[in-house]
Structure 1
Amino acid sequence: MRNSFMGKKERMKFDLFKSIVFSKNGLSFNELMQKHTLTKSTLSRYINDLAQEVEETFDGQVHLVQNAQTGTYQIETSEPYSIGYLVDYIHLFFVKKSGVFFILDGMLKNHYSSIEAMALDLHMSSSALYKQIRELKQMLVPFGGKISFDKVASPLTGNEVGIRLFAFYSYWSIFKSTEYDNQNYPASWWEIKEFEEYFDHTASLSESQRAKLRFIQLITLKRAVRQKNPIEISESFLSDIVYFDTKDSELLPVLKQRLSMEDYHKERALLLYATRGLIYNLDSMETKKKIVENYQQSSLEIAEYTTKLMAEIQKEFNLEYSEEGYVNFYFYLLILLIYIKHINIDISGYYKNGLSFHSIIDYDETSVEIFSKIEKVIEQQEFYSKINKKSLKGVMSILTLTIYSGIYLNKKAGSMSICVIFNNNLILADGIKKIILDIYNRERIIFTNDVLTADLVISDSYEIVNPKTEYFYFDEQLNPEQWGKMIDAINDIFYKTIFSVS
């Protein structure tokens, strides 16, 4: 992840921590050395540092230890902390050590007349601050942002939409659902009840969804109200996002009170569009359907782009859209195409895989062919030539994955056939079948007695099977690991035969 706000050493120690905490039984010194390509002396130094930093981060409640019996490194906790909690808080600890993010945080919170004034406030030398600011400037470039201390309310200037997007991704990548210091903001700015009540799923929003809403609200109020940097968006952009405003209820009253009516309408329109693109599942299916219908009935060019692209994807991949599948696909594709048309910023630095989403899919020959077809369809679209070439790679990656996911949403799922033969305990064969049906969708499992036609044969004895058939040798019925491996074998075939969009 390019924009990690960590130094090189902190990033390596963070990666070491994740490797250990995600390992079921811990990792040995040699395994860590090979996995992270470190020398023995370097890894020893990092492990020693990390052990102390884990203690410091979690106030002695979490420990990095070496198992006396196995020699593996493990994470021990005195409380039942989740892995997500451990990873997010150690991440925050290392970010604080690097300093770059907290310079950004200071710029968003306070007004500084010069670098020297900022250095004094942050207890840094001017030379050290200059170095950190140079790094921050490079991170701002893709977002159209600049840093200037020329008597403006905020040192962050340039493309206002880009600056806010940069601030959002920065805050979210650093804090996620962890605690954020709100002392520099009025208490009312921190309270999101009015904001979240606009959306359908208010009662069931998770902590991470609320954290995202909170960052969006704080950044909006800070930039628009305190630093007097209202959004400037074109009439065309406003027209393209108009139907995301589905209710008459008031949104962030402080904006309406402090801004002109024109600026308030722009802020409101952008907020209601952007939140749908940044936060999952705020709307009910009824609201999504209403938004989609309004666009389909409009004469907007962006609606024509979306409808045409979906029709050509349907034809290319022989899809039968269900009503729900179509609405969801259209909704998310529309959000993305509006982003490409009007914002068009490459945000790949905020994804762990550099927006190379292909790495999360079993990228075999079939997948290569599917993505190639998707890209060809995209390249034939009218909007393709309008994508900024600087952001083309990142934009294409997220667009191809969005379409790939939309295809899957509307692709009729297949099934797999399983032949179960158990000779040592006859009733156990029926027991295995019941367990499989208890776990998996009954419509997707077909049991057969013919070993030559089955996708998977489960047996406690050698069987002659079709070369293409998977075979699971199950001869230890009292061994829990064997049951787990059987489920893994089924999952693998499910992935290959059912979850492929080909």
Structure 2
Amino acid sequence: MRNSFMGKKERMKFELFKAIVFAKNGLSFNELLDTYHLTKSTLSRYIHDLAAEVEDAFEDNVHLIQNSHTGTYQIQTEKTFSIGYLIDYIHLFYVQKSGIFFLLDTLLKKNYPSIDAMALDMHMSSSSVYKQLRVLKEMLIPFGGKISFEEISSPLIGNEIGVRLFSFYSYWSVFKSTTFDNKNYPEAWLETKDFEHYFDHADSLSESQQAKLRFIQLITLRRALWQKNYVALSEEFLADIAYFDNKELEILPILKQHVSTEQYHKERALLLFATRGLIYNLDSPETRKKIVEAYQRSSLEIAKHTTKLIEEIRIEFDLNYSEEGYTIFYFYLLILLIYIKHITIDISGYYRNDLSFHSMIDYDEKNVETFQKITTIIQRQEFYPKIKKQALNGVISILTLTLYSGIYLNKKAGSLLICVIFNNNLILAEGIKKIILDVYNHERIIFTSDVLAADLVISDSYENIDPKTEHFYFDEQLNPEQWGKMIDMINQIFYRELFLSL
């Protein structure tokens, strides 16, 4: 994450923690050296600090240890914690140590006549506040936001949608679904039931979905009610997002009570559009279809751009859209194109891992050609020249990833030809076939007796096969690890042949 609220040292220790916690058998000192290119003395110091800080963060329930037998560094827990819990809480711990985020948090909650007054209230030196404010100012630039102590209502000014997006991504990147300090807000602002119940999956929202809704609601109410900063949407913007509001249900009644009817209409329209782009799976397939069909029937330019782009993708990649696949592709592409047209802010720096589709695939010649085709299609769209230069790289990365995902979503999956030959225990061959079919989609697996035609041969003996054919040598049928390795090999082939071969 480029726009991290951690200091440089905290960021490196966080990366070391993640690497160790993800390593099933731990990582050695030399492996960490090779990965992070630190000096031995620096790495030793970081590991020593990390061990103490992990115990501090988790109140002695989690420890960084060095295995006495293997010498590798491992994470040991006194209680059962998920990896997500461990990473999110150590992340929050390091953010709290740096202090930059909590300077922002203070700016969003209180008004100060000067930097010196803020420093005094926070028990910090003026020089430290100045230094951290410079960092925040740089982070606000892509969002069109500024920090000013001349404003009466709020020190954060500028593009209102940008300031709200910056606030949302900042809070989400720091807290995610961990404990959030909300004691400074009215209790009614924390109750999201009215907001949740607008959406189809209100009764089954996860903690992360609820946390995101809570952040969106708090930021909206704070900016509009406390600081009197309202969103200004053009008539064209309102028209482009109108069909995302398709239910006669209130979402923020407390907001409706305190702002004008016109302003509430704008806030509501933006919220019902933005939540679909920020939170996954709020709508049922029926609602998504209803929204998509409303746009398709409209005469909106944005709808025509979406239809045209999807059609060009279909032709270029020889896709046969299913009804469900087309609806999902259209729905998320439409949201992104509206964002590109009216907002165009590069938010890619707020992903904990840089947003790049290249990192999740094998970058071979075939995939290079796929990316080039997608890029060419994007560059000939009418909206491409209108994207702001400073936001171009991040916006195009997100758009390319969306198109790549849409292609995969609608690409007909191939099948895997497997030949099973077992000489030591004849009936075991049938057992292997059944296990494979129990695990995988029957349409994707085809068994063959021809070793030369197979994509994968599973055998307890040497077989004369095509050099390109995968061979799993299965000679220990009583070893559970052998069964797991067989499934792993099938997974790898599926991943390579079905996901990477667009």
Interval containing the TM-score (normalised by the shorter chain): over 0.9
Contact 1:154 1:227 in 2 (8 A): yes
Instruction: Return the alpha-carbon distance in structure 2 between the equivalents of residues 41 and 219 of structure 1.
Output: 44
Residue in 1 that maps onto 2:244: 244
Does the 8 Å CA contact 2:362/2:500 hold for their aligned counterparts?
Answer: no
Shift of 1:380: 1.4
Post-superposition CA distance 1:146-173 (Å, at most 9, x none): 0000032111000000010011011000
Q: Distance in 2 between matches of 1:116 and 1:319?
A: 61
Q: Match of 1:277, as an amino acid? A: G
Per-residue deviation, residues 262-319 of structure 1 (Å, max 9, x unmatched): 1111100000000000000000011111111111111111001001111111111111
Q: Is the 8 A contact 1:415 1:497 kept in 2?
A: no
Separation in 2, partners of 1:390, 1:233: 22
Confirm whether residue 427 of structure 1 aligns to residue 450 of structure 2: no
Q: Could you list the runs of 5+ residues in structure 2 that have no partner in the other structure? A: none
Q: Distance in 2 between matches of 1:174 and 1:367?
A: 34
Distance in 2 (CA, whole Å) between partners of 1:22 and 1:93 is: 19
Deviation at 1:433, TM superposition (A): 0.9
SS of residue matched to 1:420: strand
2:202 equivalent in structure 1? 202
Find the aligned partners of 2:79 and 2:390 in 1 and give their Cα distance: 47
Is contact 1:57-1:90 (8 Å) kept? yes
Matches within 5 A, 1:367-378: 367-378=367-378
> In 2, distance between residues paired with 1:387 and 1:35?
36
1:348, 1:21 → 2: CA distance?
25
Alpha-carbon distance, 1:478 to partner: 2.1
Residue aligning to 1:75? 75
The CA distance in 1 between the partners of 2:348 and 2:164, in whole Å, is 16
Give, in whole Å, the separation in 2 of the partners of 1:142 and 1:429.
60
- 1:455–1:470: 8 Å Cα contact kept in structure 2? yes
1:415 aligns with 2:424: no
Correspondence for 2:264: 264
- Work out the CA distance in 2 between the residues paired with 1:100 and 1:357: 30
Q: Deviations over 1:64-123 (max 9, x none)?
A: 111222222111111111111110000000001111111111111111111111111111
Distance, in Å, in 2 between the alignment partners of 1:164 and 1:310 is 30
Identical columns (%): 73
Within a 5 Å distance, the mapping from 1:360-399 to structure 2 comes to 360-399=360-399
- With 60-69 and 81-90 compared, the bigger mean Cα shift is at 60-69
* TM-score (norm: length of structure 2): 0.98
2:176 maps to what in 1? Answer: 176
Q: Whole-Å Cα distance in 2 between the matches of residues 161 and 501 of structure 1?
A: 39
Paired residue for 1:97?
A: 97
> Could you say which residue in structure 1 is the equivalent of 2:288?
288
Native 8 Å contact 2:173 2:352 kept in 1: no
Q: Secondary structure at the match of 2:338?
A: helix
Q: Deviations over 1:396-420 (max 9, x none)?
A: 1111110111111111111010011
- Structure 1 residue 241: Cα displacement: 0.3
**What is the CA-CA distance between 1:500 and the residue it aligns to?**
3.6
Helix, strand or coil: the match of 1:391? helix
2 CA distance for matches of 1:26 and 1:486?
A: 24
Q: For 1:313-353, what per-residue CA distance to the aligned partner results, in whole angstroms no more than 9, with x for missing partners?
A: 11111111111111100000000000000000111211244
Looking at structure 1, the residues matched to 412 and 357 of structure 2 have their Cα atoms a distance apart, in angstroms, of 23
State the match for 1:494 in structure 2: 494
1:377 Cα deviation after fit: 1.1
Letter of the aligned partner of 1:328 in structure 2? Answer: I
Query: What are the residue-to-residue correspondences of 1:66-215 with 2, within 5 Å?
Result: 66-215=66-215
Q: Which amino acid aligns with 2:207?
A: E
CA distance in structure 2 between the partners assigned to 1:496 and 1:133 by the alignment: 47
Residues 270-419 of structure 1 aligned to structure 2 (within 5 Å) = 270-419=270-419
* Residue 220 (structure 2) aligns with: 220
Instruction: Tell me how far apart the structure 2 counterparts of residues 252 and 313 of structure 1 sit (CA, whole Å).
Output: 39
How many pairs are equivalent?
502
Aligned equivalents of 2:259 and 2:362: distance in 1?
50
Q: Is the 8 A contact 1:353 1:359 kept in 2?
A: no
2:419 aligned counterpart, secondary structure = strand
Determine if contact 2:356/2:397 at 8 Å carries over to the other structure: yes
State the SS of the aligned residue for 1:280: coil
Residue aligning to 2:437: 437
Matched to 1:228, the amino acid is K
Aligned partners of 1:44 and 1:140: how far apart in 2?
35
Counterpart CA distance in 1 for 2:309 and 2:407 is: 12
8 Å contact from structure 2 (residues 64, 74) kept in 1: yes
* 1:355, distance to aligned residue in structure 2 (A): 2.2
SS at match of 2:472: strand
State the secondary structure of the residue aligned to 2:450.
coil
Aligned amino acid, residue 452 of structure 1: L
Q: What CA distance in whole angstroms lies between the structure 2 residues aligned with 1:499 and 1:349?
A: 26
Q: Deviations over 1:14-35 (max 9, x none)?
A: 0111111111111122222222
- The residue type paired with residue 310 of structure 1 is I
CA RMSD of aligned residues (A): 1.0
User: 1:9 corresponds to which residue?
Assistant: 9
Q: Structure 1 CA distance, aligned partners of 2:136 and 2:130?
A: 10
Structure 1 residue 501, shift from structure 2 partner: 5.3
Counterpart residue identity of residue 483, structure 1: W
Gaps of 5+ in 1: none
Q: Secondary structure at the match of 1:471?
A: strand
> Does structure 2 conserve the Cα–Cα contact (< 8 Å) formed by 1:407 and 1:501?
no
Residues 288 and 331 in structure 1, CA contact (< 8 A), matched pair in contact too = yes
Distance 1:349 1:273 in 2: 22
Distance (Å, rounded) in 2 between the aligned partners of 1:159 and 1:76: 46
Per the normalisation by structure 1, the TM-score is 0.98
